[in-house]
Amino acid sequence: KAGVTQTPRYLIKTRGQQVTLSCSPISGHRSVSWYQQTPGQGLQFLFEYFSETQRNKGNFPGRFSGRQFSNSRSEMNVSTLELGDSALYLCASSDIQGGETQYFGPGTRLLVL
């Protein structure tokens, strides 16, 4: 099976802009989670989707949003970008729910200037 894919891999934006990142899970996986990785804060959970429903959300401002489509692909959006949003955004997918192993994509590296 193909792994988790994320597009784009690299992105440069300026403050105030918005950005949309995409994630395609492993075929058959219905759960998609997003994480932000920064040198200062480490790996932090953003949100989780299962069957198109957000079932868990981390402690991030409302500028961060996401959605999941019927084919389990997911997108996350960050509006009104700030310098501190520069990070590696990782997507992970898993089979069902509850303690299942999450398989991570290569990430999208976002740089906000």
Partner 1 sequence: AQSVTQLGSHVSVSEGALVLLRCNYSSSVPPYLFWYVQYPNQGLQLLLKYTSAATLVKGINGFEAEFKKSETSFHLTKPSAHMSDAAEYFCAVSTGGATNKLIFGTGTLLAVQP
What is the per-residue binding string for partner 1 in 7-46, x denoting contact by CB under 8 A? ------------------------x-x-x------xxxx-
**Helices and strands per DSSP (H, E), number in the chain:** 0, 11
Q: Cα dist. 20→1, 7, 73 in Å? A: 26, 9, 13
- Position among 18, 27, 100, 111 found at the interface with partner 1 (CB under 8 A): 100
CB of 4 to partner 1, least distance (A): 8
Contacts of 7 (CB under 8 A, 6+ apart): 21, 22, 108
Paired tokens of 70: 């019927």
Q: Which is nearer to partner 1, 25 or 112 (CB)?
A: 25
Q: Which positions touch partner 1 (CB under 8 A)?
A: 4, 31, 33, 35, 42-45, 48, 55-56, 58, 90, 92, 94, 97-107
